[in-house]
Amino acid sequence: MPQPGLTTPDNDALPWQTTLLLALQHVLVVAATPITSVFLIAKALHFTDTVTASVLSATFLMCGLGAILQSLGVKGVGARLPFIMVPGGAPIAIFVAIALQTNIQTAIGAVILTSLFYFIALPIFRRCLHHFPPFIIGIMLLMVSINLIRLYGGLIIGQPGSADFAHPTSIILSLGTILITLIFALAFSGILRQLAVMFGLLAGTVLGMALGSTDFSGVGHGPLFSFPQLLPFGWPIFDLSASLPLLIYAVISMAEATGQTIATAEIVNSTQNVQQAIPRTIRGDAVMSLLGGIFGTSLIITSGENIGVVRTTNVKSRFVTAAAGGLLILIAIFAPLVRLATCLPGSVVCGTAVIVFSIIGVIGIDMIAREPLHTPGKTYALAMGLAMGMLPILVPGLYQNFPAGVQMVFGNGMAAGTLTAILVNSLFNWSEKRTQARVKS
C-alpha cells in the first residue's frame, strides 16, 4: 500500500480504518441532499410511499456509483479526484416544473435527453475553457456559496406563515451544530480535526434527540433490503420543447463542473492535467444522469459540496470518496439505513451545510484575491458579476414576469453572475489587446 506523503494527496491510500471513518463523514455531510431532493419531488408530485422509497434508493445508488466513477475513473470518464455526486438543486426545481406542466414521464425523458446533450455539447464547450480562469471560477464559487447559504438558511427557519416558522428549537439546533463543529476543530488535531464535521453532525443529532426533534421509532419497521425499480414511472416521453429548460441548465452545469474540477484539483495538489480532467468530470455527470433517468431520478451531478468538505476536513484522498460511494450503495440497498438517513434532524443537517458552503465562499474569495483588482477590467468584471449574481438571490422573483428561458439564466444567481463576469472580463481583455495592437502599429 502506498504510504501517505509518497504520492500526490489525491492518490494517497490511507489505512482502511481511517478511510472508512473519513468516508462515513463524507456520507453524513452529503446524505441530506439526496434525501431532501427526493422528498421535495415526492411531495410536489404526490408519490406513494412505495415509489418514494424506490426513488430514494435509486438516488443513493446513483450517488454511490457516481462517487466511485468520479473518484477512480474508467476510460476517459470520471475526474479521478475526491468527488461525490448528488442530485443538483436547480435541476430538481426544473424537473418538478416540467413534471407539473406535462407529466412525470416527460420529466424523466428530459433528464435522459439532457444527459445525452452533455456528450453532444462537450466538444464545443472544451473550446471555451479559456474563458474560465481562476478569477472567474472564484466568482462562480462565491455565488454558489451565497446562494446555497440562503437556501439552507431558509430551510432552517421554514416556510413563512407556518406554525413552526423561525422556531427557536430549529435555530438552536443549527447554531449549536455549527458551534460544536467549531469546538471540535479547535480542540483536536490530526485525524480527529478532520472528523470535526462528522462529530458536529452526530453531536447535533444527539442534541436534537434531547430537544425532542428526532424520532427513530420507524427505523425498524419495513423490509430489510430494498432495490430500486427500473423505469418506475413507465416508458419516458421525449419532448424537446418541454426539455429546453433542463438543456439550458446543462450548459450552466458544465461551467459549474469546470469550476469544481479546477478548484478541487488545486486544493488536493493534483498533478494531472486539469484541462483533461474537466471533460472527464462532465462525462461522468452525463453517464450518471443517464442511469439516474432510467431509474426515475433527476440529474445526478458532481456536487459543489466536495470543495467545502475537502477544504474543511483536509481529506484529499480520492480513495476516501470512492469508499464513501460504497457506503452510499450499501445505504441504497439496506432499507433500514435509508429509513435511518431520513431521521437526521433537518436543522442539524442544514447547520452542517452552512459551514461547508461558507468555506466554499472562502475558497472563491481566495481565488478572486489573486488577481490585481485595482485594474479596471477586473474591478468591473467582479462588480458586475456580483451585481447580476446577487440580485436574484437577494430579490427573489426579480425575473418572474420574463420568459422561462430568461428566468432560467438570469434568475439563477450562479449562472447570471458567472456569465456576466465572463462577458465583462472578455470585453476588457479584447479592448486591451486592441489598444496594444494599435500602439504597436
Cα 199 to Cα 186: distance, rounded to the nearest angstrom = 13
Residue 300 CB contacts under 8 Å (≥ 6 apart), including other chains: 59, 62, 63, 66, 85, 86, 87, 88, 285, 288, 289, 291, 292
pLDDT of the chain, 441 residues: tens digit per residue: 344 433 455 566 778 788 888 888 888 777 767 876 777 677 667 787 778 778 888 999 999 999 999 999 988 899 899 888 888 666 776 787 788 778 899 999 999 999 999 999 888 887 776 677 778 878 877 887 787 788 778 888 887 877 778 888 889 999 999 999 899 889 887 667 767 777 888 888 889 888 887 777 767 777 788 888 888 899 999 988 778 778 877 877 888 888 888 888 888 887 788 888 889 999 999 999 999 999 999 889 887 666 777 776 777 888 998 999 999 999 898 888 777 766 778 788 788 878 877 877 887 888 888 888 888 888 999 999 999 989 988 888 898 898 877 776 788 777 788 889 989 988 988 888 888 878 777
Q: What length does the chain have?
A: 441
Exposure pattern of 129-153 as b/e (b: 16+ CB <10 Å)?
bebbbbbbbbbbbbbbbbbbbebbe
- List, as one string, the DSSP characters of 325-339: HHHHHHHHHBHHHHH
Amino acid letter, 404? A
- List, as one string, the DSSP characters of 22-86: HHHHHHHHHTHHHHHHHHHHHHHHT--HHHHHHHHHHHHHHHHHHHHHHHH-BTTBS--SS--EE
Which grid coordinates are listed for 198?
A: 462528522
What global pTM score does this model have?
Answer: 0.69
Which grid coordinates are listed for 95?
A: 424537473
Nearest Cα residue to 287 out of 65, 124, 35, 95: 65
Pairing relationship of beta strands 300-302 and 85-87 according to DSSP bridges: antiparallel
Q: What are the boundaries of each domain within the chain?
A: 9-145+214-345, 371-441
Residue 150 CB contacts under 8 Å (≥ 6 apart), including other chains: 393
Cα 371 to Cα 373: distance, rounded to the nearest angstrom = 6
Q: 65 φ, ψ to 5°?
A: -60, -40
Nearest Cα residue to 185 out of 312, 17, 30, 358: 312
Q: Which residues pair with 225 in a beta bridge?
A: 334
Residue 408 CB contacts under 8 Å (≥ 6 apart), including other chains: 94, 245, 248, 249, 415
Nearest Cα residue to 67 out of 41, 101, 94, 30: 30
Q: 257 φ, ψ to 5°?
A: -65, -35
